[in-house]
């Protein structure tokens, strides 16, 4: 189980939010009303309670911050040095020390003002002391606002740190930048470390886990290290140095024998010798990577000598291990020999311990005796082989559109040709020619013959169609003028139409000029303008029936305009009417007590006068006692 989990540290609010949280809690959790009849002792207790409660809240919040942030002297040296590299332990301790000092000052302020409140002689004096106490507490907290902001930034960064267990089986990968460390990490674990063909892609520690023979291994990918003095190394390189110095792990030192990383084998060997003091008492494996680009047989004699020197140093560190276990030749496509070597190291450590005899007494290894000399090789059924092949085929990565695009030559390539080859360079000139031809056709076709539905019109029909089109154009222009900002107003009622522009006579004249019969349109307009009148010949019974019908119509229209309270309307957020009824019932019962106390809402804290003057003053005469 991981011992250090920095993701659980509580959020550190800034100074202003801190004060708002504490003061609003004090206002909500303590009494807020003082009555005239309170004795001085009760007034003192009232304000002392506020000061003590505020101090307690400040103390709890600040204590949570101090306790949850790790103390660099009490945690594992790896995390202590890592936090020092990332944040500078002097600034870190100073910020926590200021928070601790503020906590003590607030406690002292509360203690002093509670002592003064014990001897407050009036309501005004007690209130002033309470305000002064809370004000001084808030002033102390405002002074540590920069420290709180610094601690919050550290908390956010620490939450992103990997959860590394320093006490478990660990594999540590190190070497120059761009030698294949992250690629190997992705092969042996499920970690998804970014891999790019340039240096310092990995800028922090990455952790992955892998299983080998029922044992869990923690694999740590470190950023690349350059061969330069200790003082010149940056924070990214110091993370790797810290992990190498403090973690008890099997170290894999990666060598890029192809030179594609940008560094020669001599430079990588120099780095190995400069940091070999960090490999003491740790299993060390030298991994010659990228053998697919440069086989070991093709490297020069000088480089072979350098690798042999590194191998000799590794054998000394690994306490006499074999050459095959110390030097691995691999590409990131293979995993040969790495995990088996780690298991061998663990078995050797167990065998050298003093508890080996206790363990051996518990084991019994049974070796069966052969019954004959016949060889019986293992046989795998064909069905199993087919199933395994089918499973491997299904695991193949399905090709995406991007893969197909890369196969065809990349972006901008279509069927082996560049998309730019299909563009016509004279397209703008041709577009101008088309526009000129269109303008000539429009000029020639201004007096073209009118045709409708493929039939030529007579002269009279052409004249009427021209008038209609002209009239339509005039109406469109007038409408557009009305829609401007200056004239965008509602239609003027007819009773204010003094010019009588819109009358039935005018409509009749215009329809007659168009050759249409206006009588039907005029009659319809007049019937709509008159409205409905009641027939005076109806008797009283008919009148009552009509009123009852109108009443039913009004009720029906009202019910249509406003649905019942329990009916679900889209957007209410209820599943059905039953759920809405239950919610309304709970809502009504929730404010019943508030309504009974004549409260306006949940925030109404007004306390009415308990003894109204008109009821409790003056002399009472006979017969006046009933109103009390």
| Residue 379 falls inside a structural domain | no
Digit-coded pLDDT (tens) for 171-202: 888 888 888 888 888 877 887 787 777 677 77
- Do 177 and 304 belong to one domain? yes
Contact 65, 10 (CB under 8 A): yes
**DSSP element (H, E) containing 171:** strand 170-175
List of residues 6+ apart from 333 with CB closer than 8 A: 187, 292
Angle between helices 504-513 and 519-530 (to 10 degrees): 160
Of residues 318 and 82, more confidence is placed in 82
| Residue 261 falls inside a structural domain | yes
Location of structure tokens 């008797």? 539
Q: Is the pLDDT of residue 96 over 90?
A: yes
Q: At 312, which CATH number?
A: 3.40.50.300
Rounded distance, CA 78 to CA 70, Å?
13
Digit-coded pLDDT (tens) for 485-505: 444 455 555 555 666 666 777
| pLDDT score, position 267 | 86
Contact 180, 254 (CB under 8 A): yes
Write the burial class of residue 620 (CB in 10 Å: 0-12 exposed, 13-18 middle, 19+ buried): exposed
Of residues 128 and 277, more confidence is placed in 128
Last residue of a domain, one of 107, 127, 158: 158
Q: Tell me which residue of 280, 274, 279, 178 sits closest to 229, measured CA to CA.
A: 274
Digit-coded pLDDT (tens) for 151-171: 999 898 888 888 888 888 888
- Do 189 and 216 belong to one domain? yes
Last residue of a domain, one of 134, 158, 182: 158
Q: How far from the centroid of its chain's Cα atoms is residue 133's Cα?
A: 40
| Residue 560 falls inside a structural domain | no
- Do 333 and 209 belong to one domain? yes
- Do 179 and 314 belong to one domain? yes
Contact 12, 156 (CB under 8 A): no
- 74-88, 448-462, 519-533, range with greatest mean pLDDT: 74-88
| Residue 264 falls inside a structural domain | yes
List of residues 6+ apart from 147 with CB closer than 8 A: 94, 95, 98, 99
Q: Is the pLDDT of residue 434 over 80?
A: yes
Q: How many CB atoms lie within 10 A of CB 354?
A: 6
- Do 120 and 207 belong to one domain? no
Rounded distance, CA 99 to CA 151, Å?
10
- Do 188 and 144 belong to one domain? no
**DSSP element (H, E) containing 174:** strand 170-175
- Do 172 and 223 belong to one domain? yes
Last residue of a domain, one of 298, 319, 352: 352
pLDDT band at 442 (very low <50, low <70, confident <90, very high): confident
| Residue 85 falls inside a structural domain | yes
- 263-272, 292-301, 321-330, range with greatest mean pLDDT: 263-272
Q: At 144, which CATH number?
A: 1.20.120.1190
Tokens of 488: 């965008």
pLDDT band at 350 (very low <50, low <70, confident <90, very high): low
**DSSP element (H, E) containing 251:** strand 250-256
Q: What is the CA radius of gyration of the chain?
A: 46
- Do 102 and 237 belong to one domain? no
Location of structure tokens 């000399």? 373
List of residues 6+ apart from 129 with CB closer than 8 A: 47, 113, 116, 117, 120
Q: How far from the centroid of its chain's Cα atoms is residue 443's Cα?
A: 62
Contact 265, 306 (CB under 8 A): yes
Average pLDDT, the chain: 79
List of residues 6+ apart from 576 with CB closer than 8 A: 568
| Residue 397 falls inside a structural domain | no
Q: Is the pLDDT of residue 476 over 50?
A: yes
List of residues 6+ apart from 1 with CB closer than 8 A: 165
What total number of domains does the chain contain?
2
- Do 211 and 120 belong to one domain? no
Contact 274, 268 (CB under 8 A): no
Q: How far from the centroid of its chain's Cα atoms is residue 266's Cα?
A: 46
| pLDDT score, position 212 | 72
Location of structure tokens 């003028």? 481
Domain that holds residue 56: 6-158
- Do 126 and 178 belong to one domain? no
- Do 208 and 329 belong to one domain? yes
Give the residue ranges of DSSP H helices in 144-228.
145-159, 181-188
Rounded distance, CA 471 to CA 98, Å?
85
Q: How many CB atoms lie within 10 A of CB 216?
A: 10
| Residue 79 falls inside a structural domain | yes
DSSP result, 544-591: HHHHHHHHHHHHHHHHHHS--TTS--TTS--SSHHHHHHHHHHHHHHT
Rounded distance, CA 385 to CA 378, Å?
13
Q: Is the pTM of this model over 0.75?
A: no
- Do 173 and 135 belong to one domain? no
Rounded distance, CA 536 to CA 547, Å?
15
Average pLDDT score over residue span 313-335: 68
What is the per-residue burial (b if ≥16 Cβ within 10 Å, else e) of 399-437? eeeeeeeeeeeeeeeeeeeeeeeeeeeeeeeeeeeeeee
| Residue 113 falls inside a structural domain | yes
């Amino acid at each position: 189980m991981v011992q250090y989990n920095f993701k659980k540290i509580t959020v550190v609010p800034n100074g202003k939010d801190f004060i708002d949280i504490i003061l609003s809690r004090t206002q909500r959790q303590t009494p807020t009303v003082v009555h005239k009849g309170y004795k001085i002792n009760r007034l003192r207790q009232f304000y002392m309670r506020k000061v003590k409660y505020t101090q307690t809240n400040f103390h709890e919040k600040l204590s949570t911050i101090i306790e949850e942030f790790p103390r660099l002297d009490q945690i594992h040296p790896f995390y202590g040095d890592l936090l020092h590299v990332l944040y500078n332990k002097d600034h870190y301790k100073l910020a926590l020390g200021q928070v601790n000092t503020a906590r003590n000052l607030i406690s002292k302020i509360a203690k002093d003002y509670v002592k003064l409140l014990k001897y407050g002689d009036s309501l005004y004096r007690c209130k002033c002391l309470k305000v002064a106490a809370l004000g001084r507490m808030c002033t102390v907290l405002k002074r540590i606002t920069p420290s709180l902001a610094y601690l919050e930034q550290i908390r956010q960064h620490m939450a992103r740190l990997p959860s590394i267990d320093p006490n478990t089986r660990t594999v540590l990968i190190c070497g120059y930048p761009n030698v294949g460390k992250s690629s190997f990490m992705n092969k042996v674990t499920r970690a998804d470390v970014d891999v790019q063909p340039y240096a310092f892609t990995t800028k922090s520690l990455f952790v992955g886990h892998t299983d080998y023979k029922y044992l869990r291994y923690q694999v740590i990918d470190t950023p690349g290290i350059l061969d330069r003095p200790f003082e010149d190394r940056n924070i990214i390189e110091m993370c790797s140095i810290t992990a190498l110095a403090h973690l008890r792990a099997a170290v894999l030192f990666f060598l890029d024998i192809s030179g594609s990383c940008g560094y020669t084998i001599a430079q990588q060997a120099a780095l190995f010798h400069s940091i070999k003091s960090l490999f003491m008492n740790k299993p060390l494996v030298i991994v010659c990577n990228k053998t697919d680009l440069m086989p070991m047989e093709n490297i020069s004699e000088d480089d072979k000598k350098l690798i042999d020197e590194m191998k000799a140093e590794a054998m000394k560190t690994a306490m006499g291990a074999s050459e095959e276990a110390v030097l691995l030749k691999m590409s990131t496509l293979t995993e040969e020999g790495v995990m088996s070597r780690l298991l061998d190291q663990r078995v050797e450590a167990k065998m050298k311990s003093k508890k080996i005899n206790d363990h051996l007494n518990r084991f019994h290894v049974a070796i069966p005796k052969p019954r004959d000399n016949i060889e019986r090789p293992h046989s795998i059924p064909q069905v199993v082989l087919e199933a395994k092949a089918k499973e491997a085929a299904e695991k193949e990565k399905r090709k995406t559109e991007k893969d197909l695009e890369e196969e065809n030559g990349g972006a901008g390539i279509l069927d082996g040709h560049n998309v730019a080859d299909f563009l016509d360079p004279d397209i703008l000139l041709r577009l101008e020619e088309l526009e000129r031809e269109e303008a000539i056709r429009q000029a020639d076709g201004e007096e073209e013959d009118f045709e409708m539905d493929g039939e030529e019109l007579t002269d009279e029909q052409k004249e009427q169609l021209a008038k209609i089109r002209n009239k339509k154009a005039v109406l469109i222009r007038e409408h557009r003028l009305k829609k401007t900002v200056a004239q965008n107003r509602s239609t003027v009622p007819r009773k204010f139409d003094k010019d009588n522009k819109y009358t039935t006579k005018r409509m009749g004249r215009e329809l007659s000029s168009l050759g249409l019969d206006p009588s039907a349109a005029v009659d319809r307009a007049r019937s709509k303008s008159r409205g409905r009148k009641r027939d005076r010949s109806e008797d009283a019974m008919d009148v009552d029936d009509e009123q009852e019908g109108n009443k039913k119509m009004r009720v029906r229209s009202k019910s249509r305009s406003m649905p019942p309270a329990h009916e679900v309307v889209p957007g209410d957020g209820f599943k059905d009417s039953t759920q809405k009824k239950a919610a309304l019932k709970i809502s009504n019962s929730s404010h019943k007590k508030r309504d009974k106390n004549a409260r306006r809402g949940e925030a109404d804290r007004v306390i009415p006068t308990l003894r109204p003057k008109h009821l409790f003053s003056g002399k009472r005469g006979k017969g006046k006692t009933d109103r009390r």
